[in-house]
C-alpha cells in the first residue's frame, strides 16, 4: 500500500516570553511553563476540548518525575484528555525534531493535526544525589531488617551529600559547549567584532519585531513577563565590546553578550493537514517541506561540536535540488554568535565544501540582511528545547506576512548534532 504524501501546514505557534535563569520563572517547573505555552495555543486556535493527533515535546533538563512530561502537561491543559503525547529529547534540536516527527505523521496521513513543542528550565534544575549516595539509598531500600538498614546507613559519608548538578558540558570531552565553540570559532578565525555585530543586530531585530506587533500572536505573557527578559533593545557593538571574554581564555572572543544566556521558557507550534486547517478556516502560514538531521564526530574526529548543521543543510538542499541562495529568510539559531559565523564561513569556504562535504564548489554566501530578521536566541534567550518551536512559528509567520517565500531553519545541538528544515509559504493565497 502506498500513501500519497500530504502537505504539512504550519498554522501558528505560541510561547511564553523567555526568562533569564533564576529570575522571573525561578519557581516555575517545566510542566508549568509547557502548560502555559500549550494553553495559550489552545486559546489562540480555539482547541478547547479538541482531540489532537498528538502532542510531541521535550525538555533537555528534566526531573526524574517528569518522565512523561508532555502527556502530564496535556492533561493539565484544556485539550481533550484523549490527546496522546510523548516526550523526545535531542538537546537543542528537540523542538525542531518534534515538529518534524509530527509533520511526518501528518504527511503520511496517520494524523491530521498535532502540536510540537519544547520547554526548559535552568532555574528549577533537577539536582540529583551523587552516585555513591544513590547506590546506598537503593541498598537501603532493599535491606530487609533494621539491622541491615543500620549497617547500610553506617556507610553514609559527608561527601555523599553533595548533589550532582547538571552541567552544560559534553560528557565525552568534559568541555562546556562554549569552550567547544571557542575552539571552533578560533578555527574559523571568527573575530570579536563580527560576533558583537551579529549580536547587536539580533537584539535590534527582535526589538523591532516586538515594536511592530509581530510577536503579538506568537507570545503570551507569563508570570508578569511580557517580553523576553534578555532582550536589550539599546544593545550596541560598543556596549558589547566592553564585556570580558567568558570562553576561550583571556584572549577569547566569546562573551556573555555574544553567547546565549541560560534561560527558562516554553514554546509550541500547531501543525496540521491542509484539510484540517481548511475545515476550521485557519490560514496556512507556511508548509513544513522537509527536514534533515546530521551528526559530526567532535570527539575522535576533527570537527567542531556545533558544526553538524553545516553538513545537514547541504544534504537537504541536494535532496530538493536547491541552492543555499534559494531562500528568502534564514533562521540560524544563535547558540553563540560564533556558531552562526563559523557555519556561514564554512559554507563559503572552498576547502570545507570540497574536503568535508565533497562538493566541487562552495555553497557560497547568503544575503546577511535575510538572516534572523526577527532576532534569534542571542536576543530572545535559549531555553534549549523551546527554541525550535519559537523559530518554526516565527519563520512561518514572517513568510506569510511577506506574501510567500522560502525559509531555511538551522539548529545546532549538543552531542555534535544538527537539525535543519525548510518552510515554504504562498502567503495568504
Partner 1 sequence: MPDTYTSLANSPIGKLITGQLGLPRPTILERYSPGDATISGQVLLGAAPGGRLAPAAATVLAGLSANVSTALRGDLRKAAADAGLDAAVFNGEVPGDARFKALVFDATGITDSTQLRELHAFFHPVVRRTQSCSRVVVLGTAPEDTGSPREAAAQRALEGFTRSLGKEIGQGGTVQLVYVAPGAEAFLGSTLRFLLSARSAYVSGQVVRINQGAATPPVVDVHRPLEGKVALVTGASRGIGAAIASVLARDGAHVVGLDIPPLAEDLEAVTSALGGSFLTADITTDDAPQSIALHLQEAHGGVDIVVHNAGITQDRTLARMKPERWERVLDINLSSEERINDELLSSGVLNTGARIVCVSSIAGIAGNNGQTNYGTSKAGVAGMVVAMAPVLAKQQVTINAVAPGFIETQMTAAVPIAIREAGRRMNSMSQGGLPVDVAEAIAWFAAPDSGGLNGNVVRVCGQSLLGA
Is 266 in contact with 119 (CB distance < 8 Å)? Answer: yes
Q: How far is the CB of 359 from partner 1 (least distance, A)?
A: 10
Q: How far is the CB of 193 from partner 1 (least distance, A)?
A: 8
| Given the residues 92, 113, 204, 287, the one annotated as active site | 92
Query: Which three-class secondary structure state does DSSP give residue 423?
Result: strand
Using alpha carbons, list the distances in angstroms from residue 23 to 15, 223, 282, 384. 18, 11, 36, 17
155 binds partner 1 (CB under 8 A): no
382 is catalytic: yes
Q: H or E element: which one contains 378?
A: helix 377-380
Task: Out of 192, 204, 232, 287, name the contact with partner 1 by CB under 8 A.
Answer: 192
Q: How many Å apart are CA 281 and CA 11, to the nearest integer?
A: 11
247 binds partner 1 (CB under 8 A): no
243 binds partner 1 (CB under 8 A): no
Give the footprint of partner 1 on residues 171-190 (CB under 8 A): 185-190
Is 98 in contact with 88 (CB distance < 8 Å)? Answer: yes
Task: Out of 253, 258, 263, 387, name the contact with partner 1 by CB under 8 A.
Answer: 253
Specify the pairing of strand 329-332 against strand 19-20.
unpaired
Task: Out of 191, 278, 323, 428, name the contact with partner 1 by CB under 8 A.
Answer: 191
412 is catalytic: yes
379 binds partner 1 (CB under 8 A): no
Task: Out of 166, 349, 402, 427, name the contact with partner 1 by CB under 8 A.
Answer: 349
Using alpha carbons, list the distances in angstroms from residue 105 to 8, 85, 86, 269. 9, 13, 14, 15
Q: How far is the CB of 345 from partner 1 (least distance, A)?
A: 6
Q: How many Å apart are CA 106 and CA 96, to the nearest integer?
A: 15
SS3 of the chain: helix, strand, coil, percent, to 5: 40, 20, 40
Sign of CA dihedral 109, 111, 115, 117: negative
353 binds partner 1 (CB under 8 A): yes
Nearer to partner 1, 95 or 304 (CB): 304
Nearer to partner 1, 179 or 264 (CB): 179
204 is catalytic: no
Catalytic residues: 92, 382, 412
- Which parts of this chain interact with partner 1 (CB under 8 A)? 185-192, 248, 251, 253, 345, 348-351, 353-356, 362
Amino acid at each position: 500500500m502506498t500513501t500519497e504524501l500530504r502537505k504539512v501546514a504550519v498554522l501558528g505557534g505560541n510561547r511564553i516570553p523567555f526568562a533569564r535563569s533564576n529570575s522571573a520563572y525561578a519557581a516555575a517547573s517545566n510542566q508549568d511553563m509547557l502548560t502555559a505555552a500549550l494553553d495559550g495555543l489552545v486559546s489562540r486556535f480555539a482547541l478547547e476540548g479538541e482531540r489532537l493527533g498528538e502532542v510531541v515535546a521535550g525538555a533537555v533538563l528534566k526531573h526524574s518525575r517528569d518522565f512523561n512530561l508532555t502527556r502530564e502537561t496535556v492533561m493539565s491543559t484544556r485539550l481533550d484528555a484523549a490527546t496522546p503525547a510523548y516526550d523526545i529529547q535531542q538537546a537543542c534540536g528537540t523542538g525542531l525534531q518534534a515538529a518534524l516527527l509530527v509533520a511526518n505523521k501528518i504527511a503520511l496521513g496517520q494524523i491530521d493535526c498535532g502540536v510540537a513543542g519544547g520547554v526548559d528550565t535552568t532555574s528549577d534544575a533537577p539536582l540529583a544525589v551523587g552516585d555513591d549516595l544513590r547506590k546506598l539509598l537503593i541498598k537501603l531500600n532493599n535491606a530487609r531488617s533494621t539491622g541491615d538498614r543500620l549497617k547500610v546507613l553506617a556507610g553514609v559519608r559527608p561527601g555523599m551529600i553533595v548533589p550532582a548538578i547538571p552541567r552544560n558540558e559534553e560528557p565525552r570531552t568534559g568541555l562546556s559547549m562554549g569552550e567547544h565553540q571557542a575552539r571552533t570559532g578560533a578555527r574559523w578565525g571568527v573575530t570579536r567584532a563580527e560576533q558583537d555585530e551579529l549580536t547587536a543586530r539580533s537584539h535590534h531585530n527582535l526589538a523591532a519585531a516586538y515594536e511592530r506587533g509581530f510577536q503579538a500572536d506568537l507570545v503570551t505573557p507569563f508570570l508578569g513577563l511580557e517580553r523576553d527578559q534578555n532582550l536589550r533593545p539599546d544593545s550596541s557593538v560598543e556596549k558589547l565590546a566592553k564585556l570580558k571574554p567568558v570562553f576561550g581564555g583571556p584572549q577569547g572572543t566569546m562573551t556573555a553578550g555574544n553567547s546565549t544566556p541560560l534561560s527558562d521558557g516554553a514554546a509550541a507550534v500547531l501543525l496540521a493537514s491542509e484539510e484540517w486547517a481548511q475545515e476550521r478556516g485557519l490560514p496556512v502560514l507556511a508548509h513544513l517541506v522537509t527536514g534533515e538531521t546530521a551528526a559530526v564526530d567532535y570527539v575522535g574526529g576533527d570537527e567542531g561540536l556545533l558544526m553538524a548543521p553545516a553538513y545537514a543543510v547541504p544534504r537537504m538542499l541536494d535532496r530538493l535540488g536547491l541552492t543555499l541562495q534559494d531562500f528568502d529568510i534564514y533562521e540560524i539559531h544563535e547558540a553563540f554568535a560564533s556558531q552562526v559565523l563559523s557555519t556561514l564561513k564554512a559554507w563559503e569556504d572552498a576547502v570545507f565544501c570540497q574536503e568535508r562535504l565533497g562538493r566541487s564548489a562552495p555553497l557560497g554566501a547568503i544575503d546577511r540582511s535575510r538572516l534572523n530578521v526577527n532576532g534569534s536566541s542571542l536576543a530572545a534567550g535559549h531555553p534549549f528545547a523551546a527554541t525550535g518551536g519559537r523559530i518554526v512559528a516565527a519563520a512561518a509567520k514572517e513568510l506569510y506576512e511577506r506574501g510567500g517565500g522560502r525559509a531555511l531553519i538551522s539548529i545546532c545541538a549538543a552531542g555534535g548534532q544538527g537539525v535543519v528544515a525548510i518552510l515554504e509559504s504562498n502567503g495568504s493565497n
